[in-house]
Copies of this chain bind each other. A is one copy, B any other.
């Protein structure tokens, strides 16, 4: 997930670690902040895998900035990950959102549409939070007010997302 965000942002322009952290923080870090202990090792892993290049840049002030650039192989990896997301990247809302932020990098609209379609299919498949005696509980049968709230909000969110996906897919079809 962190790796995807790194590749995605570097696909737009070369950045040093600190600036990368800020952008990733804005994107995903409302919830959990991006820690240095995650970012720097991740950058080194990507570097070792040949997906990134690093060059030192004197900034005048403070430590030398380490500026990272996406290699051609890194761009391939990004496009592959965007075009063929894993099941969890489709089903987990926050992972999917990260994907969405970079989906525009996929050159073919048809490839973008395939990803949106997968998400729509996932959201359209009904799922149930709570069970009793092995059978799913309908919303009306959930007595706990907070669990009822969960169902209400999950539905509202799913509806909003399905509507958006549907209209976006329709627009992609037209072009």
Contact = CB atoms under 8 A, between A and B. Distances in A.
Interface in A18-35: 22-23, 26-27, 30-32
Interface in A70-88: 88
A149 B100 contact: yes
Contacts of A26: 128-131
A27 B100 contact: no
Contacts of A156: 156-157, 160
B101 A146 contact: yes
A140 interface: no
A152 interface: yes
Size bin of chain A's contact surface: 35 or more
A15 interface: no
A88 B161 CA distance: 24
30 contacts: A22-B131, A23-B131, A26-B129, A26-B130, A27-B130, A31-B92, A31-B93, A32-B91, A93-B93, A94-B94, A100-B146, A100-B147, A100-B150, A101-B146, A101-B147, A101-B150, A103-B146, A104-B145, A104-B147, A112-B146, A145-B168, A152-B160, A152-B164, A153-B160, A153-B161, A153-B164, A156-B156, A156-B160, A157-B157, A157-B160
- 7 tightest Cβ-Cβ pairs between the two chains A and B: A31-B92, A156-B160, A100-B146, A103-B146, A104-B144, A157-B157, A31-B91
